[in-house]
Chain A
C-alpha cells in the first residue's frame, strides 16, 4: 500500500493560512493584555462557553442563521456581477413586512395560512428593497454598492417610523417595539432554547442556491453575465433583466431571513433589528469567495466571533463592540493573504 503523499506546496500553504488566522488572534490578545485583561484566560473561556456549552452553541447557531442567508444572498448577486451590501436594509424590511402582517392579521389566521403568508410578506419586503437598487442600476446606471448602502440607512428610519408609530405595542410602556408575533405563528423551537428549525432552512437554502448557481441553465447564464457582460450580450442574454432577477432573489432571501428571525428569535420588531447583519453577511460571502456552501462555514466563524463578543463583555468587562476589532483584523489578515489563485 502506498501512502498518498501530501504535496509540499499545499503543506506550506496550510502553514501560511494557519499564520494568517492565528496572527490576528495574537494581535488582539496583545490588545487585550494592554487593557489589563488576561488574554489567554479570556480566549479559553470564549471557546469553552461558546462551543462547549449547550447554551453557547445555541447562541452561535442563532447568530449564524441570518448570516448564512445574507451571505448566500450576497453570493447570488455577486455571481451576476452586482455588489449587494444592502443585506441589512433588506433584512429589516422583510422583518417589518412580516411583523406587520403577523401582528395585524395574526390572530385571525391559522398557522397553516399565517406562516406562509408571513414568509411571503418577508420575501416581498426584502425583494422590493433590493429591487429599488436593481432598478436604479438598470435605469439610471447607479452603482449598487452605493445605493444599497444608502438604502440601509433609510430602512432603519422606516423601521423606526413603524415601531414608534403604527406598529407600536400599546402594552410596551413607550418602549419602541412592535407587539409580539402571536404564539401560533412562531416557528418550531427545540426544547426551551431559542434554537429553531430556521438553521435547517438556512442550510437547505445554501445548498439549493449552490445547486441553482452551479448546476442549472439559469445559474450558468448568471455566471456568464457576472463574468463577462459583453460575452453575455453576444450570447443573446438579457443582461439587465437577469441582473434584476438576481438582485430580487438576493433581497428576497434577506427579507425571508428577516421573517424567520421575527418568527423565532426576536418575536417582535425593534429599531435595532438587523443592525450589522448586512456587513457581516457580506463579509462572510466575501470570505467564502462567493461560494454558497463555503458561506455556511464563514457565517459560522463570524457567528462564533459575534457571540464571543458578548462573552468578552461578561467575563472581562470590555464592551462587546471590542470583538468588532478582532473581527476586522481577522478579515484584514484574510484580505492580506489574497484570493486563491
Chain B
C-alpha cells in the first residue's frame, strides 16, 4: 500500500513536471496580456529539440538549452504576430501549434523510438530517506528539482518586485504602464519569450528526463491542459503545482492500475487526466471570482 502511494506520488511529479513548466510559461504570457494557445507547439518543439541535441551530442545540458531555445523561438513568432501585427491570438496560437507538430513530425521521423540517456534521477542525501515522500519527491531528475523552486521564485518576481508590478501592469492596463515611462510592448515580448522558453523546458523534461524517448506528438495535449490549468492556479505560479500534479497523478494512476492488472479499460483511464482537469476547473469556477488580467479579458471575449 505504502509502496503504491510512493509510486503514485512519484509518478504524479514525474508526469506533472512538464505540465508545470507549461503552466509557468503560460502564466507569464497571460500576465502580460497574451493568450498563447501555441504553447503545445512550443512544448513539442522543445521536447524534440532537446531530444535531438541530446542524442547527437550526448549532453543533456546542451539538449535542455536547445529545448528552451526552440520553445522561445516559436513563442517569438507568436509575439511578433499578435503584438506587432495585432493578429487574432487564438488563430495565431493554433496555427503555431500546428506548425510545431508539423515540424517535429517531419524532422522526428529519423529519431522515433530511439532511447536517449539524458538526465537521470538524483537521490538527494538524507531527504530521500524520509519514508513515503522521500523516495517520491527527492529522487527526481534535475529539471524537476528546478521546477520545485521555480514556483515561489516566479511568484516573488511577479508579485514582489518592481519589474513584476510593471509586468502585471502590462497585462492589466498598458496605458498606465506607458504613463509610467515603460514600453509595454517590450514587456509583452519579454513575457511571451520567457513563457515559450519555460514551455520548451517542460517539453525537454518530457523527452530527455522522463520518457527518454521521442514519439510523434509526445506532448499529447499537455500544452492545452497547461492553458486550462493557468486558470486553476489563478495566474499565480506558486499555485501551479496543484493542477499540474492532479494531471500528472491521473496519468500515473493509469499506469499503476495497468501494471497492477486491474480490469479497467485503458481508454477510460487515459481520458482521466483530461476529465479531472475539466472537473477541477469546474469546481474552481464555483468557488471564487476569477482574477484574469484585464487585457486578457479583452482577448478572450473577442
Contact = CB atoms under 8 A, between A and B. Distances in A.
B281 A142 contact: yes
A172 interface: no
B188 to A, nearest CB: 17
Contacts of A141: 285, 290
Nearest to A330: B95
Interface string A135-174: 0100011110111011111100110110011000000000
A19 interface: no
B19 interface: no
B268 A161 contact: yes
A150 B105 contact: no
B169 to A, nearest CB: 23
Main secondary structure of the interface of A (DSSP, over half): helix
Contact of B88 (A142, A286, A319, A321): A286
Contact of A140 (B97, B224, B286): B286
A321 B102 CA distance: 6
Nearest to B273: A153
A332 B81 contact: yes
B300 A145 contact: yes
A145 B98 CA distance: 16
B257 to A, nearest CB: 15
A286 B302 CA distance: 13
Nearest to A155: B271
Interface size band for A? 35 or more
Contact of A157 (B86, B268, B282): B268
Interface in B193-229: 216, 220-221, 224-225, 227-228
Given A140-B285, A164-B267, A286-B91, A325 B106 contact: yes
A328 B94 CA distance: 9
Contacts of A152: 221
B94 A335 contact: no
Contacts of B109: 319
B282 A150 contact: no
A336 B85 CA distance: 6
Q: Which of B95, B227, B268 has the most CB of A within 10 A?
A: B95
A143 B98 CA distance: 21
A43 interface: no
Contacts of B221: 149-150, 152-153
A85 interface: yes
B90 A83 contact: yes
Given A279-B94, A332-B81, A336-B87, A325 B102 contact: yes
Contact of A150 (B81, B98, B103, B277): B277
B53 interface: no
B91 A150 contact: no
Nearest to A321: B105
Given A150-B277, A165-B265, 11 more contacts: A153-B271, A157-B267, A157-B270, A160-B270, A279-B98, A283-B95, A286-B88, A321-B102, A325-B102, A327-B98, A329-B99
25 contacts: A81-B301, A83-B90, A85-B90, A141-B285, A142-B282, A146-B224, A149-B37, A150-B224, A153-B221, A160-B270, A165-B267, A282-B94, A283-B91, A286-B91, A321-B101, A321-B106, A325-B99, A325-B106, A331-B91, A331-B98, A332-B95, A332-B96, A335-B87, A335-B91, A335-B95
Interface of A: 81, 83, 85, 136, 140-143, 145-147, 149-154, 157-158, 160-161, 164-165, 279, 282-283, 286, 318-319, 321-325, 327-329, 331-332, 335-336, 338-339
Which 9 residue pairs of A and B lie closest in terms of their CB atoms, listed nearest first? Answer: A324-B102, A157-B271, A328-B99, A321-B105, A161-B267, A140-B285, A335-B87, A160-B267, A153-B221
